[in-house]
Amino acid sequence: MLNAAELSWPVGLLTRGEQLSYFDNTGSIGADYSVAVPAGEVWHILSVRCVLSTQPIVANRTVNVTFDFGLGIVSQFSSNNSVLHPAGTAYVYSFAPFNVQAGPSGASGSQVSASMPDVLIYNLGAPSGLRIRVENVQAGDNLSTVGIDYERWLA
Amino acid sequence: MSVGWPRENGELLFVAVPAPAPGNNFALSIPSGQTWRVLAVRCDLTVTLGARSLNVAVADPFGNTAWSTSCTVTHGVGLTFVSWGIGLATAAAALNGYFSWPMPDCLVLGSATTQLVSLGNVSGADTLTNIRVLYQRWRTA
């Protein structure tokens, strides 16, 4: 066993975790975007939203949400979006459990929905967290307006 | 049997499954007296020849397959990264060898013969490595 935590989930509404929202308009450029789960906390990720604006460098990109357990990339569980994101465009990505993959569509032709695992992540000594990962990311590609809704428990 | 679910005091566990010998599938036993809810599974698949398909399944206490996933693509020669998770509504194949597949959200009653296994036509020098399982556990005995 690599790690373990006692939980009070899933349980009735009386003992649901705190409902929290995370937002960061800064994001990251040319790199994954990471959010660390603080030590002693358990998070249930409900949804992840971000905007990826790609540079004119010709390459298709794909975006996924990866859940890490602090033991290197081999410990990840990923939600892999099959949508090919071309150069010089901005797509808005919305990940949530049970989402059916769709888009890009919508009034601006830029909305993408994708599903992600309905999992819990936690930090009991090993840095753990969530990453928005862009395959074939190019210098200058901008991940921004990151929003995460999650439930939190103190382990 | 009643497992009293949902209730408090479940545990969340994250385990590494030993890599099987080349050309073999992996198996993780679910012991007697425990009920599991498997949240996610992942592994690295290296195919050395031909095309393979890979799924995960649960063999129940009666030796039957309780459930199995069904992938929609094959894995060609090379390294791919495969994830299964509850809550995934859509199978997806991303760039650079990343795949994800839906998995049933079920409780599994452990026994001397209950296992979480991979079901694939792996053979020869194909390898399954970096196998990780995230699950909840309740003790029922």
pLDDT tens digits along B68-119: 998 778 899 999 999 999 999 888 888 999 999 999 998 888 999 999 999 9
**Residue A136, Cβ neighbours under 10 Å: how many?**
16
The shortest C-alpha distance from A3 to chain B (Å) reads: 5
pLDDT-derived band at B3, boundaries 50, 70, 90: very low
DSSP B73-111: S-B-SEEEEEEEETT--S-EE-GGGEEEEE----EEE--
Low pLDDT (below 70) residues in chain A: 1-16, 72-74, 124-125, 155
Contacts 24+ apart (CB under 8 A), A94-101: A94/A47, A94/A48, A94/A49, A95/A47, A95/A48, A95/A49, A95/A65, A96/A46, A96/A47, A96/A48, A97/A46, A97/B86, A97/B87, A97/B88, A97/B89, A98/B87, A98/B89, A99/B89, A99/B90, A100/B89, A100/B90, A101/B89, A101/B90, A101/B92
pLDDT tens digits along A112-138: 999 999 988 887 667 789 999 999 999
pTM listed for this prediction: 0.88
Interface of A with B in 63-122 (CB under 8 A): 64, 67, 69, 74-82, 84, 97-101, 114-120, 122
Omega before A10 within 30 of 0, i.e. cis: yes
Residues of B contacting chain A (CB within 8 angstroms): 6-16, 39-42, 44, 81, 83, 85-90, 92-96, 98-100, 102, 105, 129-130, 132, 134, 136
Give the ipTM of the model, two decimals please: 0.83
Task: Determine, for residues B13 and A99 on separate chains, whether the beta-carbon distance falls below 8 Å.
Answer: no
pLDDT tens digits along B21-46: 999 999 999 999 888 999 999 999 99
Q: What pLDDT score was predicted for residue B2?
A: 41
